[in-house]
Structure 1
Amino acid sequence: MAKLEQVLILEPPIELKFKGPFTDVVTTNLKLKNPSDKRVCFKVKTTAPRRYCVRPNSGIIDPGSMVTVSVMLQPFDYDPNEKSKHKFMVQTVYAPAGAADMDAVWKDAKAEDLMDSKLRCVFELPFESEKSVQSPGSACGSNLPTMCRPGNDLETSKSAAVTNAPKSEGLPMPKSVSTSLDDIEVRKLMEECKRLQAELAKITDENRQLKDDGLRLRKAAQSGNPVSSTSNAAVRDHGSTALPSLLVVIAAIFIGFFLGKFIL
């Protein structure tokens, strides 16, 4: 005669998972749901009764009702290399009408009326469960920095990191930046040199004019022609400006000398 199929719906249906560490009592729940229109007696058994505490370990489930069974694993020294061989079995039978004594129900039950479901025990540590959830390619996921993403060149990422890094005060500037600053300084010095050369040419013209005026005045004095007060004042004005102009010429010569040495 064929064995009866389990009438209860078990959650979880195949295995009971216990997550460590196992230095204290670890509890997992087993839900038993009765979808039938009959009362069902249940009993929970285990191959390691000294290692577990089950509450409730037996009872009656009314039609359409559900019972939550707490399975408590007692503390022990966990060895990850040792596979768990512990198993549980949920045995059920339809409750006779007016049944009150559970021991009598199980004692009088026939083998062909019994239904059962088996579950194995699984022990897990927190890091083992995380390792199983993590996918092989998650180490370089999209939320990590660019240099860890697949398809990116590592050297390019390093260069980008160096370029975007904040500049520290007191550190030497890159060679390209230093060269650019030198070019700017040279251009400024060249412009200053041109300005001084133009000033020197202007002063040279003024000195030549002064010489011409001086010669003209000397010739006029030698010929006995009187010179107007206006002309004398003009000569004095030119003479008063001649000395500062000469100083400017000398300064321009020295500056030009030093610029020439700096540029060369």
Structure 2
Amino acid sequence: MYRLQPPEELVFKGPFTDYVSQKLKIENTGDSPIGFKVKTTTPKKFSVKPNMGCIEAHGSQDITICLHSFTYDPNDKTRHKFMVQVVGLTATTDTQAVEAMIKDYERNNPTKLKESKLKVAIVPSQSEVERQSMSTANANVYHSATPNQQYSAPFGGPLANLNNQQIPSLEDFRQLEADISSLRSENSQLKEENAYQRKQISELERGGGSSSGSGGASGNGSSSQVVQPESNGGTMQRMLFLIAVLFLGAIMGFYMGQTRHPSRR
């Protein structure tokens, strides 16, 4: 009664950045006209022209099936299929009559309705396969990274060095503030001691000019031993380091807050 070319499967080859078309040919092998209708399981993804019509005896009809552009995803398991329905006619008629006849046969006399099913093969281009593989690899790297590494990806400098470190908590900040306050107090005390020592040295120098060395030594033996002021360079370095850590922690905390609540920007 009829024959399809291709008989079993429609193959669509990428790239799929634009429409991809495939030809389906219906041949009438009988001595009477036939009516046909082409259906698909995913009409939003394919267009069929013409999708319905009549074919004279021993005639044929070429049908163009277009696959709409889309982004190829190898994980998409959708099985696209086509169905060709054919009915015998006593005379050539219009498409509306063919559609009415097919609907009537579907409801009341399905044995008079001939149907053929076609599978669909989606074959991506090499560039699409490579692009999808790269995208999948990047996604795997991102999901396997720690939260700090994910959030700090666009940044460099000091913040990038915090990737593998624990973010300071509120208690850590409070402890740092207490340490800084203690260091300031200690620094102030050292300055006072330094001023006192300088004053003692100045008095000893003035006293040494008006008296003999032995008398000055016997008059105040303990004062002859000058205690050098303790250097506070190490203390200042500690304080500057803690201030730097506090500043970096505050920046990281602000960035984490903006990332977790993007709507506040």
Report the TM-score range of the alignment, normalised by the length of the smaller protein: 0.3 to 0.5
CA radius of gyration, larger in: 1
Give TM-score, length-normalised by structure 2. 0.43
Give TM-score, length-normalised by structure 1. 0.44
